[in-house]
Structure 1
Amino acid sequence: MFNYSNLPKILSSISWKLSLVPVSSVLLLLGACQNSQTINQTVNRGLEIRFLAGSDLKDFCDRAATKLNNSQPKLEDGTPFYLTCDTKGSGDVVDEVLNLTQQLQSGAIAPEDSQFPTLISVDGEIYQSQLIFQINKIFPGQNYIPDLTESPLLAYSPMVFMTQADLAGGLAAVDDLYVSLVEAKNHQDLDSKAAPLPITYVHTAPTRSNSGLQTLVAQFASVSGKRPQELTIADVKKYQDRVQKIQNKITRYGKSTGSLAKSMVKNGPFWASVGSVYESLVISANSQGNNTVNYQAVYPSATFSSNIRAILPNAPWVSEKEKAAGEKVIEFLRQPETQKIAVDLGLRPGIPGVPLGSKFSPQFGVQANPQYDSYRPPKPEVVEAMLQSWQSYAKKPSQVALVVDVSGSMRGEKLSGVQNTLLNYVQNLGSREKIAIIPFSNEIKQPFMVEGTPQGKAEGIKFIGSLKAGGGTRLYDSAIFARNWLKQNFKTDAINAVLILTDGQDSGSEITLDNLSKQLQSSNFEAEESIAFFTVGYGKQGEFSPKVLQTIAELNGGYYRQGNPETISNLIADLQVEF
């Protein structure tokens, strides 16, 4: 609230030019500021409409929510409401809704629980079909999640192959790129005029990300010669060998399609020469003013349109008022003016009549009117079989060196938190995956091997329980030790990576950071034996050097993250999806 008693002092301190402005005008301006503050304070009052959505909708939802909330929307009875956006991987969206629904079914929570979202969206129709299928298992015959045709379209962005412009011709020339990727080793196998670059390929993990799931389904469809809805569980087993050959070209998985696309731009074709991404991300890659390389979308003859729909559940956790507000939100999101936000972000509009704008052009690596056959989702039970096949058979295995700081500063809560995190990591290992746990302090322990078999996991859990904290922090020495161990035990058919978890700065190492950096360059993504590095600073800011950890990671195509006892478990779980 403005204190008008201070007005004379304020006026006397204003420059001589402003002193010529009438006091009434100043009061008017101050009143306007006061009104503006009042509006900002009342934007988020009333009924919260939580929108749980896939990550591809994040920017659109955030911008649209700001616009809607600034208008102070109300229901017909005068009840104010506001929109909040909670975005994550589409697989995580489905898992969260299923978890809440199971708790509701068991009586652990009530329908009124605030954890339930009013609106849901995933970045494509496969995950929506899976959500319908799984919810109907929990509550048979209730039809809590509406069918695809009853869920209004908000936007879409077809799945494409993202590549550098000079490689796009070779990818576009083949009849079916996935079929060609089964046997092709380098880009000259696709185009005799292309540079002899090895084919390095990325897509997200299908267990967490819609784009990854759509990619996996498209691979099975291509190698089988069938449309997705025609595939059977028997087909999954029959064609998983061919899908595995495609997966062998993977350099990285991950849960974020956007992060993979950004890494392609940052790291170049030796890191990934081809990526399965949304069309919108090619536009984004070419929208960066400092890019020296142009990227191009190669449209398959058949692909998923990645239809992003608004799901308003017909469920007991959505009250009548929430339903009414949800309907108003959907109506707002589909208005032409709001749809222009989606177009500006590189998404295609969910309603007709909205101009695409200049970004949908060759200048941004895409076509305004691409011609492709739009895939429909497979049967849900077939999707489940594909995911099981990918996790247990087709997925490229990994060999990860987990370098764990057990110095004296890790005593107490920190060490127990890390042990719980390592426990989850081991329990989630795939049957063909292997990790080497390397504890370090002022002494670097020999790697303890943990395999993803039941016996291997049991031995790993026992070892994790034996970890004790004490001593210094030979961070640099342990990093090069892990890299050298991986080089000596390099697996050509696996993703080889180092994951460092530390809460402190280096002390007592025999090598310097500069020396470490030079040595790591010999195993970066341009090397024949590429070893990725990921680093996690664990604890409070100032206890470790983010800049050092970021340098170590980015030299070898990885990244740095910060964690604490509350976030470390989820953070490492997300990192585990990379491999």
Structure 2
Amino acid sequence: MAPALRHLASRSAPSRAAGRRRAVLAALVAASAAATLTGCFGDTVDEGFGDGGDFVDDGCTSVVVATSSEKVNMLDALADAFKESPQHEGLDECATIHPINVSSGDATRFLTAGGDWPDADQRRWPTMWSPASTVWTDRVAAAASASLVGEPESFTHTPVVFGMPETMARALGWPNAEIGITDLEKLCQDPDGWGSVGKSLWGAFKISKTNPNTSTTGLSAILMQSYEASGKTADLTTDDVAAAADFSRVFEECVIHYGDTTGKVLSTLYDDTQNGASGSGYVSAIALEETSLLNYNQGNPDSHTVQPGEELTPPKEKLVAIYPSGGSMWSDNPITVLGASWVTDVQREAGEAFAQFLQTEPAQQILPDYGFRPLDGSVALGDLFTEAYGVDPAGPAVTLPKPEVAVVSAAIDQWTQIRKPSSVLELIDISGSMDEGIGDGRSRLDGAIEGAQSTLGHFRSSDEVGVWAFTTGVTSAVGDGIVVLRDVTPLASDREAVDSALDDLRFAEREGTPLYDAIAIAYDEMSARAEPGRINAIVVLSDGQDTDSSISLDSLLARIGQSQGEGGDAAPVRIFPIAYGEGADTTALRRIADATGGQWFDASDAAKIDLVFASVINNF
């Protein structure tokens, strides 16, 4: 059993139960965090949280830590250890640490927006914040106030690497050869792709990265690209970022799609390899943190909270860490007591005690069990940090320092302009069941329309956006069962026109659900116009099961899955289904996503559709 699993197995039953409750809470807070992408803090963020769960009064001071998802498990264990520490004993009253999952980028938006934390239950307002990198605390300090983020201090770190399937890495000379971002960029640029190194069957070289607006890994990756293009290992400037535009644009061209988390990409890769051949045409390299790679190789691709009795199955082929020869950024994982108005003096004192505990040897010894590197060099890394789990304890050879805030902002702004262009068709179910209410005065269709409208601000004018709707009893030039509200064309200045077209759906006739037929027609349309230099995608929203298609699910899967074999397709069309409402056929929608290398999203709570749309749109 791997060290992380041994550590989890040794925890008491009450602590495991707390972990389960925290996992539920974490998912809900993460969903509420997505609301910032739609520009809405709203009152809906408290829906579905139940009666407080783990926040039941235990007689101790409650200290909530808003943290990036990969650290929830570890902070849970550190919270237990804190109770037995001298730092805790020195408090006037006991304190209970509650880690909750809020992405680093979303927490940054919450804090810079001003006002209260966007959660109706004040028990969940954070006393402390632990983003993945001080890049985020610096941005809040610059955009809001330095006093709001207090005095952040790192307590652990993990490098940003490129994870590659071992077979592919060996084709590039791993583990003996030095591999840099320039080497990956050349593979992206070469029309022969993998053929340029004698592996033509593998097709194009494909990279997965996360959205830098919400993800530390995505942000670090674009900064590493600028460092590589400049030839520097320190003192990166805004001029360096500007000069790196062409280099980074080429690198972005081989991105398969952007994601909101690496966990979703890793889960797709894991399912692809476990359920199919030992290799995968899905992706060649993934920008991720070393700790996420370690979780993947243990059989936990989404870094979820491991439950009592849960057995993890390692992947058929592990990922190995490529530490770029030009250097790696590190996620330095600070923790700080917030200078927010809602933090009490007692909470502040307890938070400061917990932060002090994290620097001690007993706390540092816990970190490697969860795939994080301790700051204390005297602490052994342990069995996880070995080639058996795909990592090199001596890597990376070069550390790239965090640039100034202005340089980080310039890199994000540049990415917005050079990121891979999108061609997206939104396919919306308007069958009769969409008239059902979702409990807030809106129908399911109202929620779907507003969710789709909220995504339009994400797209550039040069991105292509189309909107179709489907139900029985209608017809159009593209086929029966389809209403074309907007052809897939550059958005340009048509945002208001698209808004209006979506509003028209409220008056459409609504009958049966030809789900599979609609997807087949949409897939044929998008495949015919797909280009290698774009993210070609279909977003499908359906609240029910197929009732009226002429094509079967198996026939549909055979039709849309042809490009996912070894080597894949130079211009694949990926499908991103949203399972909308409790009646949605989640099994079918998941299989449709898997067949094309897309991802499916759960909106079984229909009231959260706008939040789910925000998460989906991070992929484009």
2:500 is the counterpart of 1:462: yes
2:306 is the counterpart of 1:279: no
Following superposition, the deviation at residue 481 of structure 1 comes to 1.0
> Which residue identity is paired with 1:430?
R
Q: Which runs of 5+ in 2 are unaligned?
A: 1-12, 18-53, 273-278, 300-312, 438-442, 473-480
Structure 1 residues 125, 376: CA separation in 2 closer, same or farther (over 3 Å shift)? farther
SS in 2 for 1:567: helix
SS in 2 for 1:373: coil
Following superposition, the deviation at residue 479 of structure 1 comes to 0.8
Once residues 337 and 196 of structure 2 are traced to their aligned partners in structure 1, the CA distance between those partners, rounded to angstroms, is 45
Q: Which runs of structure 2 are paired with 1:210-359 in the superposition (5 Å)? A: 210-227=216-233, 229-232=235-238, 234-267=239-272, 268-288=279-299, 289-301=313-325, 302-359=327-384
Following superposition, the deviation at residue 326 of structure 1 comes to 0.2
Aligned counterpart, 2:137: 128
2:395 is the counterpart of 1:394: no
Following superposition, the deviation at residue 215 of structure 1 comes to 0.2
Once residues 357 and 349 of structure 2 are traced to their aligned partners in structure 1, the CA distance between those partners, rounded to angstroms, is 13
Of 203, 206, 210 in structure 1, the residue corresponding to residue 212 of structure 2 is 206
Following superposition, the deviation at residue 72 of structure 1 comes to 13
Following superposition, the deviation at residue 433 of structure 1 comes to 1.8
Contact residue 515 and residue 546 of structure 2 kept, 8 A: yes
Aligned counterpart, 1:12: none
SS in 2 for 1:95: helix
Once residues 248 and 423 of structure 2 are traced to their aligned partners in structure 1, the CA distance between those partners, rounded to angstroms, is 20
Of 462, 486, 499 in structure 2, the residue corresponding to residue 432 of structure 1 is 462
> Which residue identity is paired with 1:538?
Y
Following superposition, the deviation at residue 569 of structure 1 comes to 0.8
> Which residue identity is paired with 2:283?
A
SS in 2 for 1:270: coil
Contact residue 501 and residue 538 of structure 1 kept, 8 A: yes
Of 122, 127, 130 in structure 2, the residue corresponding to residue 118 of structure 1 is 127
Aligned counterpart, 1:571: 612
Aligned counterpart, 1:159: 160
Q: Which runs of structure 2 are paired with 1:406-445 in the superposition (5 Å)? A: 406-411=430-435, 413-442=443-472, 443-445=481-483
Structure 1 residues 416, 315: CA separation in 2 closer, same or farther (over 3 Å shift)? closer
Aligned counterpart, 2:516: 476
Following superposition, the deviation at residue 382 of structure 1 comes to 2.0
Identity of aligned residues (%): 22
Once residues 100 and 68 of structure 2 are traced to their aligned partners in structure 1, the CA distance between those partners, rounded to angstroms, is 8
SS in 1 for 2:251: helix
1:93-117 deviation digits (Å, cap 9, x = unpaired): 2112212xx226xxx99xx966642
SS in 2 for 1:431: coil
1:446-475 deviation digits (Å, cap 9, x = unpaired): 361366656221110010111035111111
Aligned counterpart, 1:28: none
Aligned counterpart, 1:560: 600
Following superposition, the deviation at residue 250 of structure 1 comes to 0.3
Contact residue 403 and residue 501 of structure 1 kept, 8 A: yes
Contact residue 195 and residue 201 of structure 2 kept, 8 A: no
**Greater shift in the superposed pair: 513-522 or 429-438:** 429-438
Once residues 419 and 572 of structure 2 are traced to their aligned partners in structure 1, the CA distance between those partners, rounded to angstroms, is 18
Once residues 221 and 336 of structure 2 are traced to their aligned partners in structure 1, the CA distance between those partners, rounded to angstroms, is 23
Q: Which has the higher contact order (CA 8 A, sep 6+)?
A: 2
Structure 1 residues 315, 417: CA separation in 2 closer, same or farther (over 3 Å shift)? closer
Contact residue 129 and residue 336 of structure 2 kept, 8 A: yes
Contact residue 200 and residue 269 of structure 1 kept, 8 A: no
Q: Which runs of 5+ in 1 are unaligned?
A: 1-32, 137-141
Once residues 362 and 392 of structure 2 are traced to their aligned partners in structure 1, the CA distance between those partners, rounded to angstroms, is 23
Structure 1 residues 571, 44: CA separation in 2 closer, same or farther (over 3 Å shift)? farther
SS in 2 for 1:448: strand
> Which residue identity is paired with 1:297?
A
Structure 1 residues 212, 228: CA separation in 2 closer, same or farther (over 3 Å shift)? farther
Contact residue 323 and residue 395 of structure 2 kept, 8 A: yes
Following superposition, the deviation at residue 160 of structure 1 comes to 1.1
**TM-score for both structures, normalised by structure 1:** 0.83
Structure 1 residues 41, 247: CA separation in 2 closer, same or farther (over 3 Å shift)? closer
RMSD between superposed Cα atoms in Å: 3.1
SS in 1 for 2:517: helix
Following superposition, the deviation at residue 68 of structure 1 comes to 4.4
Once residues 486 and 421 of structure 2 are traced to their aligned partners in structure 1, the CA distance between those partners, rounded to angstroms, is 18
Q: Which structure would you say has the larger Rg? A: 1
Aligned counterpart, 1:10: none
Following superposition, the deviation at residue 510 of structure 1 comes to 1.0
2:98 is the counterpart of 1:103: no
Structure 1 residues 152, 72: CA separation in 2 closer, same or farther (over 3 Å shift)? closer
1:284-343 deviation digits (Å, cap 9, x = unpaired): 232234422132111123111211111223454433211110012223334434334321
Aligned counterpart, 1:181: 185
> Which residue identity is paired with 2:498?
G
Structure 1 residues 572, 72: CA separation in 2 closer, same or farther (over 3 Å shift)? farther
**Greater shift in the superposed pair: 163-172 or 354-363:** 163-172
Structure 1 residues 449, 197: CA separation in 2 closer, same or farther (over 3 Å shift)? closer
Once residues 362 and 518 of structure 1 are traced to their aligned partners in structure 2, the CA distance between those partners, rounded to angstroms, is 38
**Greater shift in the superposed pair: 213-222 or 364-373:** 364-373
Aligned counterpart, 1:534: 576
Contact residue 444 and residue 606 of structure 2 kept, 8 A: yes
Q: Aligned pair count?
A: 525
Of 536, 539, 560 in structure 2, the residue corresponding to residue 496 of structure 1 is 536
Aligned counterpart, 2:527: 487
Once residues 552 and 467 of structure 2 are traced to their aligned partners in structure 1, the CA distance between those partners, rounded to angstroms, is 23
Structure 1 residues 205, 489: CA separation in 2 closer, same or farther (over 3 Å shift)? same
Contact residue 43 and residue 70 of structure 1 kept, 8 A: no
1:176-235 deviation digits (Å, cap 9, x = unpaired): 323650534556577458975421111111111000000001101111223453322x33
Following superposition, the deviation at residue 432 of structure 1 comes to 2.8
1:71-130 deviation digits (Å, cap 9, x = unpaired): 99967564332111122321112112212xx226xxx99xx9666421111112322322
Following superposition, the deviation at residue 347 of structure 1 comes to 1.0
Following superposition, the deviation at residue 572 of structure 1 comes to 1.1
**TM-score for both structures, normalised by structure 2:** 0.78
Contact residue 337 and residue 351 of structure 2 kept, 8 A: yes
**Greater shift in the superposed pair: 478-487 or 404-413:** 404-413
Following superposition, the deviation at residue 241 of structure 1 comes to 1.7
Once residues 358 and 228 of structure 1 are traced to their aligned partners in structure 2, the CA distance between those partners, rounded to angstroms, is 32
Once residues 314 and 432 of structure 1 are traced to their aligned partners in structure 2, the CA distance between those partners, rounded to angstroms, is 42
> Which residue identity is paired with 2:373?
R
> Which residue identity is paired with 2:281?
F
Once residues 487 and 573 of structure 1 are traced to their aligned partners in structure 2, the CA distance between those partners, rounded to angstroms, is 25
Aligned counterpart, 2:550: 510
SS in 2 for 1:363: helix
SS in 2 for 1:229: coil
Structure 1 residues 82, 357: CA separation in 2 closer, same or farther (over 3 Å shift)? same
Aligned counterpart, 1:52: 66
Following superposition, the deviation at residue 47 of structure 1 comes to 2.3
Contact residue 162 and residue 274 of structure 1 kept, 8 A: yes
> Which residue identity is paired with 1:569?
D
Aligned counterpart, 1:83: 97
2:382 is the counterpart of 1:373: no
Following superposition, the deviation at residue 529 of structure 1 comes to 3.4
Contact residue 134 and residue 152 of structure 2 kept, 8 A: no
**Greater shift in the superposed pair: 519-528 or 360-369:** 519-528
